[in-house]
Structure 1
Amino acid sequence: MPAQPHKDEEAALSASDIVLVVFDGVEAIDVAGPASVFTKAEQMRPGNYRLHIASPPGGTVATNGGLSFAGTRSLRQLPDAIDTLIVAGGDEPGVRAAIVEQRISDWLAEIAPRVRRIASVCSGAFALATAGLLDGREATTHWRACDQLQALRPQVRVRRERIYVHDGPVWTSAGVTTGIELALALVEDDLGHAVAMEIARTLALPLLRGAGESQLSPTLQAQSAASHRLRELLAWIGTHPQEALSVEALAARVQMSPRHFARAFVAETGCTPARFVEQTRVAAAAQLLRRTRWPQERIASRSGFRSVDALQRAFARQHGLTPQAWRDREGRPADVQRP
């Protein structure tokens, strides 16, 4: 009678092969971010993932930041049964060389029918587009390159404002750090919301953005020309939407008179305190609508609105949708229990 495989061997056999494709000129964060997410997921739920870093020729790959990835596998050495294939992004010469000289898109077109899902981070979308894998699909890339992607491949429905886009077996994400959120979404798709949230906490993410949020963070835009004192206040507002956020309360926090504070806030951020607070609270509510099954009364309270009516009016001003319509469009998590 043949020997039964050890439990660890069974786990190794059942693990899904995750491949991150890199090339000279790749953006290091595009690789390290998703790799860290899948590594944390495997630590929390052993036996689910087996990670590979691969490049067209194999060996050492130089990133655009002076770091190197050593010992990458060549594309031809990868397992036959790849579960998830993620193409990282990088600087334009590096991406172009990978497509034109190393023919990475030809390889993608060949292997795609045998892969459960294919994804890209940032400008990695250009490799997928050149392979024809985005034709007829919604997709995104870094906001600076969206017009270029649309011009290159008119058959693609480019979504300029999305953090990531999921269309059938193809996932694409925006610039750089959104690769972390893409990877968390893939893990959530596999292992559930609770695991993805635990990884987000382990990575000390300030929040887990949904796919439908803008690539350009309102808080970051507001901080760009703000003084150090207001930059810290803007960050604090973003993590404390339930607090009293009147002009008087915010002015007291930065030790300014309400009148001087209101003038300085508009001058440095380009919007009024009330408008910024509303944007922050709507963003917090959107997170809860997507990530929980909570009723709108609880969501309104948790995101700082005094009533469901106030939440609905603010949502309509910013999104042109009711909270329920936004939730229906973005989808509800299947594994989050109603409190």
Structure 2
Amino acid sequence: MDRTYTHIAFLVVPNATLLDITGPYEAFSLAAQCLQSHTGKPNTTYVLHTLSIDKNRIVRTSSGLCLQCESSIKSLDYQIDTLFIPGIPENLEDMVSPKILSWIKQQAVKVRRICSICTGAFILAEASILNNRRVATHWKLCDKLAKDYPSLDVDRESIFVKDGHVYTSAGVSSGIDLALALIEEDYGRTLALEVARELVVYLKRPGNQAQFSVTLKHQDSDYKPIQDIKDWLPEHLKERITVEQLAEQALMSPRNFARVFAKETGITPAKYIEKLRLETACRFLTETQLTLETIADECGLITINNMRRLFLKYLKITPSDYRKCFRAQI
């Protein structure tokens, strides 16, 4: 029986972030191994390739570890199905040469999927592949990406984003999330789950899950009254919380409290509490056996319908589906 090969290629640029390459590479490698044991799909598999940008196939990554690539972009003898572009941690203005950008642009119209990890989005943007698309990158560089490439719709929250055949992802570990999502696209949930088990990770974090928690995003305030309120909130989410109540605790007027809180955290008190309740509900859904009714009550959302609306607003997924996704864990 003829075997069908799906060629997954990783462009290894000098100073690339190592995990941008090895994370998704390992996921696809395990998928190829798992496919060998799936009697229903004995004639199809992934084949992985690492490509250097010139004939020197040994490439130094940002961590100092060198990778020996299989070949260079000048010696391709197969059709790339999925092309991965890793990020580099520094010197974004001096990313890759115009010739390499031209090669990437040529490949973008040939491949079935083209993907970037972390700051690899800047390389795709420079190659004009992301024009007028919704994209993701590392949270620290979202503003820079949006400023440098105004035609892009930069999603500052998502772990990864699919826009047509172009996939962009956030920080380095999100490359594994993206790879698992692509494996699921190709072969279904069963294989993706098997790979996740081997990697000892969640089956998938939805692409639109926030890159990091609300407490990390809205960092600790140096102003003690506000920090005290932030420390108090997680233990009292079940209660009815008002700005007036918080202002009284902080010994401020409601108007002044709201102004100071927004200045210190970058978010209004109401929005902060809303996101904190959402984050807490996510944790209950994945770490406990509590019913949806109980979780809604414990988080101060009162009803399942309120919780459902909150999940759809921020995560574009229902609480039940979120629980199903995240319970596929080891």
Q: Which residue of 2 aligns with 1:53?
A: 50
DSSP 3-state at the match of 2:205: coil
TM-score after normalising by structure 2: 0.70
Deviates more, 1:306-315 or 1:73-82: 306-315
User: Paired residue for 2:15, among 25, 29, 32?
Assistant: 25
Long gaps (5+) in structure 2: 37-43, 221-226, 238-274, 325-330
Q: Indicate the residue corresponding to 2:6 in structure 1.
A: 16
Kept in 2, the 8 Å contact 1:282–1:315? The answer is: no
Describe how 1:95-114 pairs up with structure 2 within 5 A: 95-99=92-96, 101=97, 103-114=99-110
Contact 1:59 1:72 in 2 (8 A): yes
Deviates more, 1:111-120 or 1:270-279: 270-279
Which secondary structure state, in structure 1, belongs to the residue aligned with residue 69 of structure 2? Answer: strand
Name the structure 2 match of 1:176. Answer: 172
Quick check: 1:314 aligned with 2:304? Answer: no
Q: Which residue of 2 aligns with 1:238?
A: none
Give the Cα separation in 2 of the matches to 1:286 and 1:164. 22
Note if contact 1:122-1:173 (Cα within 8 Å) is conserved in structure 2.
Answer: yes
List aligned pairs for 1:136-155, cutoff 5 A. 136-155=132-151
Q: 1:316 to 1:39 in 2, by over 3 A?
A: same
Tell me which amino acid in the other structure corresponds to 2:5. A
Alignment check: 8 A CA contact 2:135 2:161 kept: yes
Given the alignment, which residue of 194, 199, 209 partners 1:198? 194
Q: Does 1:163 align with 2:159?
A: yes
Listed one character per residue, the Cα deviations across residues 276-307 of structure 1 (whole Å, up to 9, x for unaligned) are: 984345325888xxxxxxxxxx9727x94469
Q: Deviations over 1:150-169 (max 9, x none)?
A: 12211111111110000110
Pick from 69, 72, 91 the counterpart of residue 74 of structure 1.
72
Quote the Cα distance in structure 2 between the aligned partners of 1:266 and 1:201.
Answer: 40
Number of aligned positions between the proteins: 269
The amino acid of 1:19's aligned partner reads: A
- Residue 89 (structure 1) aligns with: 87
RMSD: 3.6
2: CA distance, partners of 1:208 / 1:218: 20
Q: CA deviation at 1:312?
A: 2.8
Partner SS, residue 175 of structure 1: coil
Aligned-partner SS, 1:272 = helix
Distance in 2 between residues matched to 1:20 and 1:132, nearest whole Å: 19
**Match for 1:42 among 32, 35, 44?**
32
TM-score by length of 1: 0.68
Shift of 1:218: 4.3
The alignment status of 1:300 with 2:292, answered yes or no, reads yes
Change (3 A) 1:196 1:145: same
Note closer, same or farther for the CA distance 1:188–1:285 as it changes in structure 2 (3 Å cut). Answer: farther
- Residue 282 of structure 1: aligned partner: 281
Alignment partner, residue 244 of structure 2: none
Equivalent in the alignment of 2:113: 117
Secondary structure in structure 2 of the residue aligned to 1:133: coil
**Alignment counterpart, residue 212 of structure 2, candidates 216, 227, 231:** 216
CA contact (8 A) 1:87 1:124 kept: yes
Higher RCO structure (Cα 8 Å, ≥6 apart): 2
Which amino acid in 2 is paired with 1:39?
S
CA deviation map 1:76-124 (0-9, x unaligned): 222341100010111222x54442x363221111121111110100000
- Structure 1 residue 182: Cα displacement: 0.7
Asked if 1:272 corresponds to 2:271, the answer is no
CA shift in 2, pair 1:148/1:219, >3 Å: closer
What is the deviation of 1:172?
0.4
Once residues 179 and 193 of structure 1 are traced to their aligned partners in structure 2, the CA distance between those partners, rounded to angstroms, is 18
For structure 1, the 5+ residue unaligned runs are 1-6, 226-264, 288-297, 334-339
**Partner Cα distance (1:161, 1:221) in 2:** 10
